[in-house]
Amino acid sequence: MSDSNGVPEQWRLGDAFVPKGRYVDREFLQLEYDRLFPKVWQMACREEEIPDVGSYLEYKIGDQSIIVVRSGADRIQAFHNSCIHRGSRLIQHAGCATEFRCPFHGWRYSLDGKCTFIHFEEEFDHRPDEFKRLRDARCERWGGWVFVNMDRDAEPLLDWLDPLPKVLGPFEPERMRYAWHKRTILPANWKTAIDAFIEGYHTPATHPQYIRLSVNGTRDASPCSVDEYAFAPYNPTFTFRNCSRFVFGVREDAPVAGAAARGNPAQIRALIAYQLDQLRALNNEHDLRAAEELLRIDAGDTPIYQVFGELRRKFAEEAGVAPPDLTLQQIAAGQGDWHFHPTMVNLVEPGSILGYRSLPNGDDPDSCIFDVWSLYFWPEGGAPKVELEFVERWKDGDWGEVLTQDFRNMGAVQQGMHSLGFEGHWLNRKQEMSIHNAHRIADRFLFGVDA
């Protein structure tokens, strides 16, 4: 490994500084395509998106296309989407098939990648059978997600994700299913979009209503006064080798712990009702019933969140849902906002996950393809059939108040970084180092620098 001098000066990280060129330079985006994305584990889909034998979808990153296919009842494989004859793409988008056929010369491949038909095969030079198959990409699964990696020598997925499987495993994300799944194009670099969801420092300015959620359900999203920032949540970040986390909290000297943070039942109910109405994720109807019941009972000396958790589980089970039996210690260890480097973010709560994925959009560093989804537990056989909803212009979609506020920021951030008066991100050392960590991880692949 080289030292920091192995990074070109215009892209070199400072201790808490990220140069803007990493977001706006077309050359940097090409480096990511050439050196980063071919070497790292990337989430391609949820297992439920390819439910039947023969179900497949296309995962695209830059000019690379990967077929992800359920080749057996419990077998999922990935192949480079290129006929071994003349290179033609075999599939586009998603579908279900019994085999893959080249549209150019009709060569055929079984679901497990073996070439089963070559027209006039005797007229070709002999090739061993191991060459007569689609080229494999690494494909491994965890938590209900399917990950792919184009590097055959990459470390195993579970090693890459560490410590995520350990701390999030008790939440049983593999049993969750989509409540909804949406995609749009954002006028921002793919990392600009990711950055917006891996730090909570922006909450009082971008989402002021969270500070003002009242017990009667009213909210006010007008800009905060300077004095109101004392009531803002405090979201420290924690960094790991290939991921990061921020947790929802409050400074010890804050006059109020923020919505629900001190266990006020009325505020808990207001927060859940708001997120159901406007975020449409992180909470569900079982949570709301539990919060309303909390208003009617005396918890005594029992911690309010312990009582709330017991009620939430009770109402979920009554509805036919079997949520995991989490201890308070397990909740504390896993709850929060996790960045699965490089492209995925998940906000994890008991019983639900709000997730994001950001991918570059072609060769334009000022544009990205952005996915957002909500995952819940459902009664056996009761999960809805969710189709991906694509809205090309985000302003034409129905996102709710919270995501709309986030999306409004991104174009302005991306445009502002092109200013001759802007050098780069000067980061909060407590609440924004998840952003710095993402670039530090990338530098191992981009420049051979391991900090």
pLDDT tens, residue by residue, 320-375: 999 999 998 999 999 999 999 999 999 999 999 999 999 999 999 999 999 999 99
Q: Are strands 75-80 and 108-109 parallel, antiparallel or unpaired?
A: unpaired
Per-residue pLDDT at 299: 80
Residue 451 domain-assigned (yes or no): no
Q: Are residues 134 and 170 in the same domain?
A: no
Q: pLDDT tens across 48-71, in order?
A: 999 999 999 999 999 999 999 999
Together in a domain, 146 and 197: no
Total structural domains within the chain: 2
Are both 352 and 256 inside the same structural domain? yes
Q: What ranges make up the beta strands (E) of 269-386?
A: 336-340, 344-349, 352-361, 364-376
Structural domain includes residue 341: yes
Predicted pLDDT at 260: 41
pLDDT at res. 392: 97
Residues 335 and 406 in one domain: yes
* β-bridge mates for residue 357, sequence order: 344, 371
Give 258-299 as a DSSP string.
Answer: -TTTT--HHHHHHHHHHIIIII--S--HHHHHHHHHHTTS--
Entry pTM = 0.94
User: How far apart, in whole angstroms, are the C-alpha atoms of residue 146 and residue 45?
Assistant: 5
Q: What is the pLDDT of residues 238-261, one digit of tens each?
A: 999 999 999 987 666 665 544 444
Rounded CA-CA distance 203/359 in Å is: 24
Instruction: Please report, for the domain that includes residue 82, its CATH number.
Output: 2.102.10.10
Are 93 and 184 in the same domain? no
Instruction: At 196, list the tokens.
Output: 């917006």
Point out the domain boundary residue: 153, 186, 214.
Answer: 153
| CB contact burial 7-46 (16+ within 10 A = b; e otherwise) | beeebbbeeeebbbbbbbbeebbebbeebbbbebbbbbbb
In a domain, 217, yes or no: yes
In a domain? residue 2: no
SS3 at position 33:
helix
CA distances from 172 to 214, 244, 315, 417, 434 (A): 33, 20, 19, 40, 25
Integer Cα distance of 377 and 138 in angstroms: 29
Claim to verify: residue 111 and residue 232 sit in the same structural domain: no
Instruction: Give yes or no: residues 145 and 235 share one domain.
Output: no
Q: What is the pLDDT of residue 301?
A: 82
Q: How confident is the model at residue 252, as a pLDDT? A: 65
In whole angstroms, give the CA distance from residue 53 to residue 140.
17
The rounded Cα 92 to chain-centroid distance in angstroms is 23
Q: Does residue 360 form part of some domain?
A: yes
The Cα 38–Cα 25 span in angstroms is: 20
Domain that holds residue 244: 163-267+278-284+320-446
Same domain for 212 and 250, yes or no, is: yes
Instruction: Determine the Cα–Cα distance for residues 394 and 187; give it in Å rounded to an integer.
Output: 9
Cα–Cα distance between 269 and 278 in angstroms, integer?
14
Q: Which residues pair with 141 in a beta bridge?
A: 146
CA angle 390/396/401 to nearest 5° reads 100
CATH code of residue 194:
3.90.380.10
> Per-residue pLDDT for the chain (451 aa), expressed as one digit of tens each?
444 568 999 999 999 999 999 999 999 999 999 999 999 999 999 999 999 999 999 999 999 999 999 999 999 999 999 999 999 999 999 999 999 999 999 999 999 999 999 999 999 999 999 899 999 999 999 999 999 999 999 999 999 999 999 999 999 999 999 999 999 999 999 999 999 999 999 999 999 998 887 655 567 889 999 988 888 889 999 999 999 999 987 666 665 544 444 568 888 899 999 999 999 999 999 999 999 999 999 888 888 888 999 999 999 999 999 999 999 899 999 999 999 999 999 999 999 999 999 999 999 999 999 999 999 999 999 999 999 999 999 999 999 999 999 999 999 999 999 999 999 999 999 999 999 999 999 999 999 998 7
The C-alpha atoms of residue 305 and residue 265 are separated, in whole angstroms, by: 9
10 domain-assigned: no
Mark whether 61 and 197 lie in a shared domain.
no
For helices 285-294 and 265-274, angle between their N-to-C axes, nearest 10 degrees: 160
DSSP 110-176: -TTSBEEE-TTGGGSPP--GGGSBPPEEEEEEETTEEEEES-TTPPPHHHHHTTHHHHHGGG-GGG-
8 Å CB contact between 353 and 197 = no
Asked which of 132, 153, 174 is the last residue of a domain, the reply is 153
- Residue 50 located in a structural domain: yes
- Residue at which a domain ends, from 123, 153, 183: 153
Q: Is residue 189 a contact partner of residue 368, using CB atoms and an 8 Å limit?
A: yes
DSSP element (H, E) containing 182? strand 177-186
Query: Are residue 172 and residue 124 in the same domain, yes or no?
Result: no
180 and 141, same domain (yes or no): no
Same domain membership, residue 121 and residue 103: yes
